[in-house]
Structure 1
Amino acid sequence: MRILLAKIFKQAFKLQFFRKRFYGIHQRIFKPYKLFKGVKCSIDYNGFTLDLKLDDWIQENIFFLGEYEKAELGVLENHLKPGDTFLDLGANLGVFTLHASRIVGINGKVISFEPFLTNYKALKKHAEVNHLTNVKIEKLAVGSESGRITLYHDESEDNLGMVTANYVENAVKEEVEVVSIDDYLLRAPSLTINFIKIDIEGFEYSTLLGLEQTLRKFYPKILIEILEGEDDGASKEKVEGFLTDLGYKKNFISDEGKLSESPICLDRKNYLFSV
């Protein structure tokens, strides 16, 4: 019954009147009434098969709106090339991994890092059902140095993208291995890194510290989400300053995935850094 209701809402969100009110409807109806808790479905998404859980914010967007971070995926389409090597740091269920795999093709490579078990299982399944032979999936967190950390997920958030290494009371806990990308790539010295996506909920600076030698060696393009008040104690300015000192230039992203040196969409926290 609830999957039928979900399909009715999906049709409604094709109308601009409802579409632009999606977040409000999510906050006022879907979330408080747990309308789609436990509801799962399989869909075709841009030519890929995705198994979705409709009580998760990201997966809701994909099901009801048919898109998630469309502008950022446009950047991928415009700046990732066949034969490239792409690192997906914080891959979640695999939206960027899937698109990158198709773009880089059989002569390219995608390495995806996702430490949280629920997301890792979804990522691995999506790679398998879509027959992604050029993708390697690692159940690893990334940071400034290798070791182990505890991750926390507040299930009341209904967002599997909000896993954090900061303590959260009454949260689901999971101890995971963490690795610096510089250390990880010592195992694959022949790889040339062309493009890196970083989406790790406030630990961007720590990750960049563990990437410094890789950045200095290859100067890959970096698609990165930078949040205000970083969880690892580094400000947005510190993150941007680190990249600027390495010679990177900050590019803002339009809704169409185009780049500008001037702010375009003030709500967007993702940027492309390039040299």
Structure 2
Amino acid sequence: MVPARLLRACVRHGPAWWPTARAAEVLDKRLMHHPITSIARTRYGARIPVTTSDLIQRYLYMFGTWEPNLTAWICGQLRPGDDFIDVGANVGHFSLLAASLIGPSGRVVAIEASPRLAATLVQTATANGYKNVRVVSSAVSAAAGELTFYIKDRNNLGGTTSIRPRKQPPAAFSAPTASLPDLLSATELENARIIKIDVEGSEADVMDGLSPHLHRLRPDAELAIEISPKRLARQGRTPRDVTAPMHAAGFRRYRIDNSYAPRSYAERQVTPPHPWPHPITEMSDLIFSRSHHSASPSGPHATR
């Protein structure tokens, strides 16, 4: 059996061809079924504590990145002094990436509903020397309240949701809620270059609280929102509850393609956002921008 460390070196540094992709598939299964706890070093230099039973943490350990197309797009957009709002920060990949791009004159607000993940993210940001990251332990919704969250799959903590599953697992935790503008200072909201929202079906509730304040965003502000039609439907909502306020505020929508197959990560083919005038019928990552086109991947961390 090839040692996991050797497979990881092949996956990280080998050429983007089929043996590397095959090594990624083998390593993915091994780390999922025989998890380890380690420190993942990302492509942008941050060190994140991980347990490889979880999909996001496993891919950070294997590849040093997560959702490479979105990562590349963010790298092409953020500049020193920008602010980045991360709603659904999880272990902090996008928050720490943004902190590395915007420098000490910019600010990151990382909002995470899980008290455990939020506490870990505080420690991770400190350990990496990022003093420009403010972690908020809260869920984001339309108004103040409290939500119960459920973990459908222990191998994918990123799928933790406040939408009650049909086959209800035990409640994982409860978290206070507030609207996004209520969790941010006026300066953080109005200087935000990118707002990333990944809340596993609660995106319409987030938009209910944010849409009255869209006029306050800077002219070049962009939003990256994951939209989950099936989870929205279970609440009597539709993707239009998210997209209509954005379109009314002058934003156009673009789609970022996502594959979570280890082979696609090993192949390292980054694709930019593309216009998406079509109905949203499946889980989709969308960019909302007032520009006529969204920038192609660029910047120091744009490649996988």
Normalised by the length of structure 1, the TM-score is 0.84
Cα deviation per residue 1:190-244 (whole Å; 9 max; x = unaligned)? 4423320011111111111111133121152101111231344322243222321
- Residue 256 (structure 1) aligned with residue 270 (structure 2): yes
C-alpha displacement of 1:138: 0.4
Q: Which has the higher contact order (CA 8 A, sep 6+)?
A: 2
3-state SS of paired residue (2:229): coil
Show CA shifts across 1:140-177 (max 9, x none).
Answer: 000111111111113x4411101111224233421111
Q: 1:18 to 1:236 in 2, by over 3 A?
A: farther
Whole-Å separation in 1 of the counterparts to 2:70 and 2:283:
10
Find the counterpart in structure 2 of residue 136 from structure 1.
134
CA deviation profile, 1:120-152 (whole Å, cap 9, x unmatched) = 133122101111111100000001111111111
CA distance in 1, matches of 2:111, 2:95: 10
Relative to the length of structure 2, the TM-score reads 0.77
Write the distance in 2 (CA, Å) between the matches of 1:63 and 1:162: 19
Closer/same/farther in 2, CA of residues 93 and 22 from structure 1, 3 Å limit: farther
| Equivalent residue number for residue 100 of structure 2 | 102
**In the alignment, what sits opposite 2:211?**
212
State the AA in 2 paired with 1:167. Answer: R
Deviations for 1:65-86, whole angstroms, at most 9, x for unmatched residues?
3321111111111112221121
What are the within-5 Å matches in structure 2 for residues 6-25 of structure 1?
A: 6-13=4-11, 14=14, 16-17=17-18, 19-20=20-21
CA distance in 1, matches of 2:21, 2:46: 25
For residues 180 and 212 of structure 1, the distance between their equivalents in structure 2, rounded to whole angstroms, comes to 10
The one-letter code of the counterpart of 1:274 is: S
1:153–1:173: 8 Å Cα contact kept in structure 2? yes
Gaps of 5+ in 2: 258-268, 291-304
Percent identical: 24
Tell me the residue number matched to 2:164: 167
Question: Which letter does structure 2 place at the counterpart of 1:271?
Answer: L
Cα offset, 1:99, TM superposition: 1.1
1:176 corresponds to which residue? 175
Equivalent residue in structure 2 for 1:273, among 276, 288, 291: 288
Superposed CA RMSD: 2.8
Counterpart for residue 37 of structure 2? 40
Greater shift in the superposed pair: 136-145 or 171-180 = 171-180
